[in-house]
Amino acid sequence: MRVLVVDDSLRLQRNIAAALRRSGYAVDTAGDGEEGLWLAESHEYDAIVLDLMLPKRDGLDVLRTLRAGGRPAHVLLLTARDTVADRVTGLQAGADDYLVKPFALEELLARVQALCRRTYGTKRPRLAVGDLEIDPLARTAQRAGRPVELTAREYQLLEYLARRQGEVVSRADIEAHIYDGQVDPMSNVVDSAVCNVRKKLAVTAGSAPLIHTRRGLGYVLAPAGARSLT
C-alpha cells in the first residue's frame, strides 16, 4: 500500500514515514501544502496522512481541493486542536479520520491500516484465498495451516493481491501501491518480489500455485485450480 505523509515537522514526518516503511508501506513525504497537493494529484495513494497546520497551503485547503477534484484517497487529518468544531470542520471537508497530537505511532499505524482496508471495500478481519489465510491485524499469512515467512514488503504485496483476488493486477499498479518514487521504473523489482512470494507460498512440494501470471498483463491471486486465469 502507498501512503503520502504531509507534515511540516521534519522530525515527526521522518518518524511517521519510518514507522510506515517498517510495516511495509511505500511512503512519499512532503513538508508543505503545495508540495503535498502536487504529490496527491500526481499519484494514486491508498491513504494520506495530512497535517492541518501547513505552510503555503493549509491542510483543509489541500483536502478541499482534493475532494473537489474527485480524488478518492482516504485522508487521516493530524492536528493539535481538539475541539468538536475543529473535528466537525475537518470531517465535513472530506476527511475520513482525525488524530490529535500528540499520538502513539501504534495508533496512527492502526488507523492507516483501517483506511487502507476501506479502500478495497472490506472490513473482514481475515482474508482467505483457497487454503491461504491472511491476518491483516497481525500482518501474518499461513497456508494449509503452515506459517508463511514474509518480509514486510512481501506481506504488503500479498495482502494487496489478496484484496484484489481474482483481478488481473498490472506491474504498474503494484509499483504504484507497494513501492515509492525511489524505485527505478526500469528495474525488475516487481517480478522479483512476486517470484519470492510465489516460492514462499509453496509450503509443501505439492502445493498448487496461487499467483498466476497473465503474460503482458500482470498477476492474479486466485485459488488453486483456477485454470482460466493461467
Q: Write out the DSSP string of 27-82.
A: EEEESSHHHHHHHHHHS--SEEEEESS-SSS-HHHHHHHHHHTT---EEEEEES--
Residue 121 pLDDT: 59
Q: Is the pLDDT of residue 109 over 80?
A: yes
Average pLDDT of the segment spanning 121-145: 81
| pLDDT tens digit sequence for 153-195 | 899 899 999 988 889 999 888 888 887 765 565 678 888 999 9
Residue 128: HSE in the Cβ half-sphere, 13 Å Cα cutoff: 6
Place of cell 512532503: 30
Residue 230 pLDDT: 39
CB-based burial, 120-134: b 16+ in 10 Å, e otherwise = eeeeeeebebbbbbb
Residue 205 pLDDT: 57
Q: In the predicted model, what is the mean pLDDT of the chain?
A: 86
Q: Is the pLDDT of residue 13 over 90?
A: yes
CB-based burial, 98-116: b 16+ in 10 Å, e otherwise = bbeeeeeeeebbebbbbbb
| pLDDT tens digit sequence for 47-75 | 999 999 999 999 999 999 999 988 888 99
